[in-house]
Amino acid sequence: MPAAPHSQMTIPSDAMRRIGILGVQGAFSEHKAALLKANALLVKPVDLEIVDVRSVDDIRDDIDGLIIPGGESTVISMFLRRNKMEDRLRSWIRNENHVTWGTCAGMILLAERSEHQKDGGQPQVIGGLDIVVDRNFFGRQVHSFEADVKLAEVPDLRQRNKTGVTQETFSGVFIRAPAVVKIMDPAVSVLATLDCPSRQTSDLAVAVRQNNLMATAFHPELTEDPTWHLYFLKTVLNLKVSSKR
């Protein structure tokens, strides 16, 4: 799909910003390309460094934001445990100066609870988001689909194009995707919802944010639209500006 045009936004910047991508599974190169595209949409693009995070030593305090891509949540959790990355990653994510975004499997790993675990499946590994997710809400891989999700009325998420029209939807790619079935804390805000007639469900939460953590059940990196990467990048930049005040 063609990229949706975005209004540009000036964010003060006086230093490099470093974004990490957890390099276990998932579309690393697609996330990187989308971040670079999003950065180019800023009136004043920042000096952006994108780094792979594959070991405990890679989880550095000078990384400003982290993306946990999709994949198989059990495989990712086993990798983190085997490489002794769990405690360090959990500590990094809970630092209020860091922004974390989990997509698909990343949402499962960030959720405090998940339903329909496989026998012997992974326990809660990272956590931080006070939500309950259904691991395979939409079914198996063959039930993957693409559908429009409705964006919440969040200024940095709903962008105006050059003609002044506000973007209200985003084409979400759902691949063996989870969904949020319960929100356990009012601090969690819903960023996007999906109408799912096949499950007799409307306004199903498929993207959420709680403070400096966010998660999407779908894969924005697999589209040409950088809306979500722009929102993530702005969150990182705005957090850095706020911390200096």
Say what the pTM is: 0.89
> 3-state secondary structure string, 190-211?
EEEEEEEHHHCEEEEEEEEEEC
Residue whose pair of structure tokens reads 């305090």 in the numeric block: 61
**Is the residue at 233 inside a domain?**
yes
Query: What residue numbers bound the domain in which 64 lies?
Result: 17-243
**Is the residue at 12 inside a domain?**
no
**Is the residue at 120 inside a domain?**
yes
Q: Which of 6, 31, 98, 221 is catalytic?
A: 221
Active site annotation includes 104: yes
Active site annotation includes 221: yes
**Is the residue at 7 inside a domain?**
no
Query: Do 36 and 48 touch, CB atoms closer than 8 A?
Result: yes
- Would strands 99-103 and 169-174 be described as parallel, antiparallel, or unpaired? unpaired
23: tokens are: 């390099």
**Is the residue at 6 inside a domain?**
no
162: tokens are: 């050059």
Q: Which of 168, 219, 224, 229 is catalytic?
A: 219
**Is the residue at 164 inside a domain?**
yes
Active site annotation includes 143: no
How many domains would you assign to the chain?
1
CATH code for the domain of 151: 3.40.50.880
Q: Which of 30, 104, 115, 153 is catalytic?
A: 104
Residuewise pLDDT in 10s, the chain (245 residues): 334 444 444 444 456 899 999 988 777 899 999 999 999 998 889 999 999 999 999 999 999 999 999 888 888 988 999 999 999 999 999 999 999 999 999 999 999 998 876 555 555 579 999 999 998 898 777 678 999 999 999 988 987 766 668 889 999 999 999 999 999 999 999 999 999 877 777 899 999 999 999 999 999 999 999 999 999 999 999 986 665 55
Q: 214 - beta bridge partners?
A: 101, 209
**Is the residue at 1 inside a domain?**
no
**Is the residue at 2 inside a domain?**
no
